[in-house]
Chains A and B, each alone.
Chain A
Amino acid sequence: MLELKAKTRETVVAWWMVFPALFVISVIAFFPLFKTFYDGFFEFGLNPNFPRKFVGFRNYVELFIHDPRFIAALKNTIFFTVVSVALETALGLLIAIIVNQPFKFRGAVRAAMLIPWAIPTAISSQMWKWMFNDQSGIITKILERLGVIEPGFPILGSPNTAMWAIIAVDVWKTTPFMALLILAGLQLIPEELYEAARIDGANVWQRFTKITLPMLSSTIAVALIFRTLDALRVFDVVFIMTRGSVNTETLAVYNRVLLMDRAFTGAWFGYGSALSVIIFALISIFAIIYIKSLRLKLD
C-alpha cells in the first residue's frame, strides 16, 4: 500500500518534470505539425485562386508513381544520408578516441575540433564552394597537381563528382557533432572497468570491443538518430553549393520548390505537405531501426 502511494507520488513528480519540455514543444510545434499532416490530404495553393479540394491519399500516390523528380530526390537523399552518416560516425569515433587520450594541449585540440561545427553553415558552404571553384579553388588546384583531375574541371558542375563534394563538405562540418557526443559518452565510462580488464589480460582491441563499444552503443544510437534526421532533411549545403543541379537535388531542396517557389503559382501546397510527411516517415523508419538494433532503452 505504501509502495503504491510512493509510486503514485513519483508519477506525479515525473509528469511535472516532463511538463515544461512538453509544453514548449506543444505551443511551438503541434499546430505546424498537425497542419502539415492535414494539408497533405488536400490539393490547394496559398493563392486564393486555388481553393482547397480534399483528395485523400492522391498526393502520396502521385509522388511515388508519377513524379520522377521525387524519386530522384529520394535516391539522392538516401545515398547522401547513408554515406555521410557512416563516414561521420567512423571519423567521429576515431577523433573522440584520439582526443580522449591524455596529451599536452588536449583542451586546445578539443576546442579546435569544434570549429567546423561552429562556423555558420552559410559561410562554410560558401567557403567550400569557393575552394572547389574551377579557377581559383585551392582543392581544385591540389587535385590538379596530383593529377586526379584535368585543369579547369568543374567539380561542382559534373554529375559524377558534385554529390561527393557535397558529402565531403557535410562530413567535414558535422564530424565534430558526432565526436563531441561520443567523447562525452567515452568520458562517462568508468576507468575501473578498463583496469579490471587490463588485469584480466585483455589487449587493446579486446578492451575496445568488449567494453568501449558496448558502453557507447546507446550514445552512438542517439547520435545516429539525430545525425540521420538532419541528413535526411539536408538543405543548406546542397542549395548553396549546387542549387540541386547535376543530380544532387535532395528531398528538402525539392520540398522548397513545391512549398515556396510554387506557393502562389499553382495548387502545390498540399502536394508539398505530403512530401514533408514522407520525410517524416522516412526519419521514423531510420529511428526505429537504430533503436531496435542498438537496443536503445526508452522506458
Chain B
Amino acid sequence: MHLIWNHTTDEGGGIMKKLLLVILMVALTVFSFAQKRVTITMTAGAVGKELEVLYAQLDRFMKANPDIKVSVMPMPNSSTERHDLYVTYLAAGEKEPTVLMLDVIWPAEFAPYLEDLTNDRAYFELDKFLPGTVKSATVNGRIVAIPWFTDAGLLYYRKDLLEKYGFKNPPKTWDELVKIAKTITAKEKNMYGFVWQGARYEGLVCDFMEYLISFGGDVLDEAGNVVINTPAAVKALQFMVDLIYKENVSPRAVTTYMEEEARRVFQNGQAVFMRNWPYAWSLLNDPKESKVAGKVGVAPLPAGPAGRSAATLGGWMLGINKNATPEEKEAAKKLIKFLTSYDEQLYKAVNAGQNPTREAVYKDAQLKKAAPFMVELYGVFINAEPRPRTAKYSELSDVMQKYIHAALTQQMTAQKAIEEMAKELNKVLGK
C-alpha cells in the first residue's frame, strides 16, 4: 500500500485512478448483487409434515436461485382464519404475503387481488395438470392461480366387516351402501353404518355436492343461473336426511361432525363406512393410533340413480399478490413453477401424502410404491367436481349450508329447504 501511495504521488495518480476504478467496479458488482436479491413471503400450513416438506423444497429452490430468498408465513389449520387474514391484508393493500396459498374455492373471490397468469399458461405447463383443478383456478377466462395439490372425497370402508358378512366388493351405488350398512349394524354391537360431515360449515357443502351430482342435480348451470330447484336435488337431500332418520344408518350427531369427528368414530372401529378426504388414510393405518389399522379399504364414492359417482374437488393453489413489485412477482413465478414441477410434486406426494395436480405423476412407480391408493383412485381425482364457481361463492355456500343443515336437523323438510335455498340463492346472485 505504502508503495502504491509513493507511486501515486510520484506519477500523478495514474495507478491510483486505476485502483479506484477497480474498487468502484467491485463495489458496484457486489452492490448490484445485493440489490438483485429479492425476498418474497409465502403462506403455508403451520407445522407437521407439510411444513417440513416445504422447508426442504424451499432449501433446494434457494440453492438453485441464490438471488431469491423465501420466507414462510405459517397459517393455522382453520380455513376460515386463513380467509379472514387474507381479507384484512389484501383490503389494506399489503404486498405481503407475495405468494398466497389459496383454497380451491377462493380464486373467484380473490381474483381482483391476484396477478393474472393467463399469459403464463405455457410457462406453468397447465395443459399437463388435472383439468378440474385448472378450471377452479380460472375466473372469467383469466387464470389467477396455479394448482398445487388436490383432494377429493373418498369412501372408506371396513374390509374385514364386509368380508365377514359376505360382501366381496365395496358398494357401487348409494342404495347398496345402505343395504350393506344395515345388514352389518344389525349384527354388530356399537356400530354405526355410515359417518360423514354434516356440521354447518364448508365441509357440508362438499358432502352435499357429492349426493346432488350423483343424483343428477346441480346448483348453477354454465351461464351461472340457479338450477337447484329440481326433483333430483330434493331426492338427494332427502336421501341424506333419510340416512339419519329413516334408515338409521348415520347417527343423529353426524350433524355436528366435521372431518375429525367422523374420522375418530371410524378409527375407533365404530363405523362401517366413512366419507372423508385422503388425509385420513395414513392416520387410519397407523397401528400406534388406530384400532382399525390394516382393516381399512378405500374406494370411489357410490353412484346415485343418475348412474354417476361424484367426488368433490378439494386442494390448494398458489396465487401471486397483485400488490407485489415486478421483481417480487418474477421471483414468485419462479417459485411456483418450481413447487408445481413434476419432481417436487412427486416429493410432496411421497413424503406429505398430498395428491399431485400433474397427471403424469400418478403414473410414477415411486408414487405407486409409497401411496398405492393415490394411483388406484386416479380416476376419482381426475374426475373430481369443483364446487359452483362464482365470485360470490362464500355467500352461496353460506346460504346452502343454512338450508341443508336445517333439513338435516329436521327444522324443515327437504322439499322446503331446496325451494327456499333456490329463492335465496337467486337473491344473493342478484337474479
- The answer on direct contact between A and B (beta carbons under 8 Å) is yes
Among A82-90, A148-156, A215-223, the one that faces the other chain is A148-156
Is B200 an interface residue, CB under 8 A from the partner?
yes
Tell me, in angstroms, the Cα distance from A296 to B181 when the chains sit together. 65
Main secondary structure of the interface of B (DSSP, over half): helix
A136, A156, A243, A247: residue with the most chain B Cβ atoms closer than 10 Å:
A243
- The closest CB in chain B to the CB of A140 belongs to B253
Per-residue CB proximity of A148-170 to B under 8 Å, as 1/0?
00001110111100000000000
Nearest CB in chain A: distance from B303 CB, A: 29
Please provide the 10 A-B residue pairs with the shortest distance between their CB atoms, ordered closest to farther.
A245-B200, A134-B253, A154-B253, A157-B256, A157-B255, A46-B91, A265-B392, A261-B394, A263-B87, A260-B84
Chain B residues with CB below 8 A from A260, complex form: 83-84, 87
Contact of A261 among B252, B264, B398, B411 (CB under 8 A): B398
Total A-B residue contacts, Cβ distance less than 8 Å:
86
Nearest CB in chain B: distance from A70 CB, A: 14
Tell me, in angstroms, the Cα distance from A49 to B140 when the chains sit together. 14
Main secondary structure of the interface of A (DSSP, over half): loop
Chain B residues with CB below 8 A from A136, complex form: 264
Q: Is the CB of A153 within 8 A of B252?
A: yes
Per-residue CB proximity of A234-259 to B under 8 Å, as 1/0?
00000000111111000000001100
- The closest CB in chain B to the CB of A46 belongs to B91
Question: What is the number of residues of chain B that contact chain A, defined by CB distance less than 8 Å?
Answer: 32
Q: Is the CB of B395 within 8 A of A262?
A: yes
Tell me, in angstroms, the Cα distance from A247 to B255 when the chains sit together. 13
Q: Is the CB of B251 within 8 A of A152?
A: yes
B window 264-318: CB within 8 A of A: 264-265, 268, 270
Nearest CB in chain A: distance from B409 CB, A: 6
If A152-B253, A157-B256, A265-B391 touch, whether A245 touches B405 (CB-CB below 8 Å) is yes
Chain B residues with CB below 8 A from A264, complex form: 87, 90-91, 109-110, 112-113, 391
A46, A49, A135, A266: residue with the most chain B Cβ atoms closer than 10 Å:
A135
Chain B residues with CB below 8 A from A134, complex form: 251-253, 256
Q: Is the CB of A135 within 8 A of B264?
A: yes
Per-residue CB proximity of B241-265 to A under 8 Å, as 1/0?
0000000000111011000010011
Q: List 6 A-B contacts (CB under 8 A).
A: A49-B112, A134-B252, A154-B251, A156-B256, A245-B255, A265-B391
Is A133 an interface residue, CB under 8 A from the partner?
yes
Chain B residues with CB below 8 A from A256, complex form: 84
Is B199 an interface residue, CB under 8 A from the partner?
yes
Contact of A245 among B199, B264, B268 (CB under 8 A): B199
Tell me, in angstroms, the Cα distance from A232 to B342 when the chains sit together. 52
Chain A residues with CB below 8 A from B398, complex form: 257, 261
